[in-house]
Amino acid sequence: MNDMKYELSDLDKTGITKIVKILLFYELQPTIDTDQLITSLAEGVKHATSQLPFMAGSLEFNEYGKLCILMPPGSQVKLNIRRFESTEQKSISALVEGSFSPDNMKFTEFLPEEPVAPKQVCALQISIVEGGLILGLWMNHAAGDWSSIDTFVSLICQSCKAHREGLKMPTYTPDLNRVPYNAPATGSTFSRQEHLEKLPIFYVTEKSQFKPQPPPPAFRSSIYRISEPSIQQLKARCTPYLTEVDYITSYDCISALAWTSITRARLNLHPEKSSSPSRFVHPIDVRTRDPEKNTSEHYFGNAVIGSQAGPTTAKTLVTDGDRGVAAAATLIRQSINSTNLSTISHMTSLMKSLTPAETLGSQADFNDMDVFMNTWYSGSADKYDIGGDSRSVAFRVPSSLPGACVVILPNFSRGATRVFEVFVQMEVKVHEVLRKDPEFLRYFEVVA
Q: What is the CATH number of the domain that holds 421?
A: 3.30.559.10
Whether 118 shows a pLDDT value over 80: the answer reads no
Same-domain check for residues 264 and 116: no
Same-domain check for residues 155 and 248: no
pLDDT tens-digit profile of 50-72? Answer: 999 999 999 999 888 899 999 98
Give first-to-last CA distance, the chain, whole Å.
Answer: 52
pLDDT tens-digit profile of 202-239? Answer: 999 999 888 777 777 888 999 999 999 999 999 999 99
Same-domain check for residues 159 and 211: no
Contact 405, 427 (CB under 8 A): no
Mean pLDDT for 383-394 is: 93
Same-domain check for residues 157 and 194: no
Closest alpha carbon to 183 in 349, 54, 12: 349
pLDDT tens-digit profile of 122-132? Answer: 999 999 999 99
Same-domain check for residues 347 and 374: yes
Where is the domain boundary, 151, 179, 207? 179
Same-domain check for residues 170 and 191: no
Contact 201, 362 (CB under 8 A): yes
> Domain total for the chain?
2
Q: Name which of 209-218, 264-273, 353-362, 388-397 the model is least confident about.
A: 209-218
In a domain, 321, yes or no: yes
Where is the domain boundary, 120, 151, 179? 179
- The per-residue pLDDT for 98 is 87
In a domain, 386, yes or no: no
Where is the domain boundary, 179, 204, 236? 179
Report the C-alpha gap between 11 and 9 in whole angstroms: 5
In a domain, 388, yes or no: no
Alpha carbon distances (Å) from 161 to 40, 265, 269, 388 = 8, 45, 50, 8
Other C-beta atoms closer than 10 Å to the C-beta of 193 total: 8
In a domain, 282, yes or no: yes
Contact 385, 161 (CB under 8 A): yes
Instruction: Say how far residue 320 (Cα) sits from the centre of its chain.
Output: 32
pLDDT tens-digit profile of 180-202? Answer: 999 988 777 899 999 999 999 99
User: How are beta strands 119-120 and 78-83 bridged, if at all?
Assistant: unpaired
In a domain, 393, yes or no: no
Q: Is the peptide bond before 311 cis (omega within 30 degrees of 0)?
A: yes
Q: Is the peptide bond before 283 cis (omega within 30 degrees of 0)?
A: no
Same-domain check for residues 27 and 123: yes
Same-domain check for residues 219 and 350: yes
Report the C-alpha gap between 386 and 416 in whole angstroms: 21
Residue 347: CB partners within 8 Å, gap ≥ 6? 11, 14, 195, 199, 305
Closest alpha carbon to 178 in 369, 345, 44: 345
In a domain, 70, yes or no: yes
Report the C-alpha gap between 63 and 357 in whole angstroms: 20
Mean pLDDT for 21-43 is: 96
Mean pLDDT for 74-85 is: 94
Judge if pTM exceeds 0.75. Answer: yes
- The per-residue pLDDT for 211 is 79
In a domain, 392, yes or no: no
| Average confidence score pLDDT of the chain | 92
Same-domain check for residues 269 and 313: yes
Same-domain check for residues 258 and 290: yes
- The per-residue pLDDT for 218 is 87
For residue 361, the number of C-alpha atoms closer than 13 Å in the C-beta half-sphere is 14
> Which range of residues forms the domain containing residue 408?
186-378+401-446
In a domain, 93, yes or no: yes
Contact 339, 255 (CB under 8 A): no
Same-domain check for residues 174 and 191: no
* Residue 100 Rama label (left phi>0; alpha psi -120 to 50; beta): left
